[in-house]
Amino acid sequence: MDDLTLLSLGAYTRIFRGWHPEPTDVPTLLVRATEPLPHMPDQWQSSWPGPHDTADVPGTHLSMLENHATTTAEAIRGWIEALGPAAG
């Protein structure tokens, strides 16, 4: 892991420490990596406390947005399309 990635992880940890999301009525998708980061073998898989759908995509938290970006985007697009047209 390079210095910038490590710095970013520390910043995200500080930002979200103690954060508790409010309940929401909107559809929510948790896009979850299927592989752990090398330095986090035990506590690597994301969770979300509220109602949601889950899309497990290949890669780690970082590589799902880099090496596997196309597959990740396809999972998100498929979920959005399955929601159907917006009411109104």
* In contact, 45 and 54? CB cutoff 8 Å: no
- What is the domain partition of the chain in residue ranges? 26-83
Q: How far is CA 16 from CA 1, 19, 36, 75, 83, in A?
A: 21, 5, 20, 25, 29
Q: Give me the mean pLDDT over the 15-40 stretch.
A: 87
Banded model confidence at residue 33, pLDDT cuts 50, 70, 90: very high
pLDDT greater at residue 21 or residue 81: 81
Residues 6+ apart with CB under 8 A from 79: 29, 53, 55
pLDDT greater at residue 45 or residue 88: 45
